[in-house]
Structure formats: C-alpha cells, structure tokens
Amino acid sequence: MRHTRLRTTARFLIAAAAAAALSLTGLAASPASASPLDIPPKGANDWSCKPDSAHPEPVVLVNGTFKLMAENWAALSPKLKEAGYCVFAFNYGHMETDPIPQAAAELRDFVEAVRGATGAAKVDIVGHSQGGMMPRYYVKFLGGADKVNDLVGIVPSNHGTKNPLAIPAGYTFCPSCLDQRWDSDFMKKLNAGDETPAGPDYTVITTRHDEVVIPYTSALLTGPSEHLTNVVLQDKCPLDPFMHDQATKDPVVAQWVLNALGRKGGPADPDFQPHCFG
C-alpha cells in the first residue's frame, strides 16, 4: 500500500510539473492552437470523414486532467476508427487545468465544429476522468442535451474525489482540480437534481483499483436504467488490473465502449460479458 501511495504521489507531481511548465510557456492545448502538442491520436481528426448508416454519430474523445490526446487515446482511437466510426479528439484548457465550466464551453464549440464538418445531428462522447464528467456540464447547462447521443465516461470524476492531492494542485495552477474535489461548489451544482438529464444515454465504466478518483464509487451515477448503465470492470472481469491513469488502454474498457456506442436507443448492455484477459 505504501508503494502504491508513493507511485500515485509521484505521478501527480510529474503531471503537475508538466502542466505548470506548459502554462508558463503559453502553450495552450486547445482546438484552435497550432502547438506541436496538438497531434491527434491515430485514427482521429479526419475532417473529411462522413458517418455511415451503421455509425451515424461521430465520436468525440475528451481527455482527462493533465493529458494530451495523442497519449490519452493512443489505444482506443484506432479501435474506434477500425470499427467504422469517424473519430475526433482535441486538447483543451491548458492541459485540462482551466475551470471546468470554461472547458465545457470549449467542448461545446468543438462539438459544433464536428457536427458542421460531418453533417451529423448528434455526436457520441467518450471521455476519461475529467473528460468523462465535464461533458455532463455541457449537457446540463450549455445546450448539449439534444446534441449528444451517447456519453461514455471512463473512470469519470462524477462526484469528485477525496484524494488530498487535488487540493494543493488546485491552489497553485489547477482550478479544475479544485472543481473536482469531493463536495466542491462545482460538484454540488453539477449533481443537484437530475444526474442524467434527458437526451443522451449514459455509460459509466470504473475500476475498483482507481487511485485518483477516491472512492471509486464516486464515478457512478444515479438515473433510470433505460438510459444509464454503471459498469465496474471487476464485476465481469475480476482480475482486471487497470487503475485510473491507463484505463483508456484496457482492452476490456474498449469492449464496453464499443458495446455502448453500438447499441441503438440505450446505454451499454448491463448483461454484456466482455472477453477477460489475464
């Protein structure tokens, strides 16, 4: 347990230092940026891609805090492309450290760009960590309810985290870290009333080994079962070892994402049994 805490602390400090350096040098990671950091993952950002009848919604990938799209979606983006989807990704909010309402406005603008380029009425959103939670703000407060078909959150910080490292990071250079604290004002606003507003279907995928979103059950949402499926990876694959940071690279997670996106008129099938590894 002590080694796990040390690894977690080191990962946070390294990520924090990288984000701080980017902020100081002015390299903002946003859709409009010309920064060399804005390299899309394989399979993403073919702006000539047109959805077909089998995959009518383009997929927008939304990074987690301190992440760049090329790394965050290195495994999942090509899988989605190979499955037949038009895939789009973007960096936002100075390594996702800007206040979350501001990040949600960037997502709104990016979704409009994708809809305009593809001609699609709606998009599917797949997000990691902050990127799995932040689109709920877009849906609830920024007009996204009728523009999102599926919202799939991978280890999302839906109710914040009790991880104490979120607080010192937030006080220095990471407003989104403060927003993601357990019981923050932002979290209270986001989760007041209906957690799954009508419009999208919601799939939450989390792991009992989450070392960032603490407790891991913070990811889970409440709502009607016809529009919400909560998935705990180890319920179907007990030996799945994946933790928070690399969850997007878990082949079991990829199966759940494809199941959610492939179902018409509903979230992931709660009875789905993925192929387990290990």
Cβ neighbours of residue 19 closer than 8 Å, sequence gap 6 or more? 66, 94, 95, 97, 173, 174
- Please give the Cα distance from 191 to 174 (Å, whole number): 21
- 2-262 to CATH, choices 1.20.120.1200, 3.40.50.1820, 3.40.50.300, 3.30.420.480: 3.40.50.1820
User: Token pair for residue 58?
Assistant: 């383009």
Ordered by start, the domain boundaries in the chain are 2-262
Cα–Cα distance for residue pair 126/151, rounded to 1 Å: 6
pTM of the model: 0.88
pLDDT at residue number 136: 98
Per-residue pLDDT reduced to its tens digit, 166-175: 666 666 789 9
pLDDT at 164: 84
DSSP, residue by residue, the chain: -HHHHHHHHHHHHHHHHHHHHHHHHT----TT---TT-PPPTTB--TT----TTS-S-EEEEPPTT--HHHHTTTHHHHHHHTT--EEEE--HHHHTS-HHHHHHHHHHHHHHHHHHH--S-EEEEEETHHHHHHHHHHHHSS-TTTEEEEEEES--TT-B--TTHHHHHHHT-HHHHHTBTT-HHHHHHHSS-SS-SSSEEEEEE-TT-SSSSSGGGG---S-TTTEEEEEHHHH-TT----STTGGG-HHHHHHHHHHHHSTTSS--TT--PPP--
Rounded distance between C-alpha atoms, residue 156 and residue 174, angstroms: 18
Instruction: Kindly give the parts of the chain with pLDDT less than 50.
Output: 1-34
pLDDT of residue 16: 40
Determine phi and psi for 6, rounding to 5 degrees: -65, -45
Start-to-end Cα distance in the chain:
22
Max distance between CA atoms of the chain, in angstroms, equals 52
Please give the C-alpha separations between residue 245 and each of 35, 104, 132, in angstroms, as whole numbers: 24, 21, 13
Tally the residues of the chain.
278
Written as six digits, the tokens of 5 are 């805490």
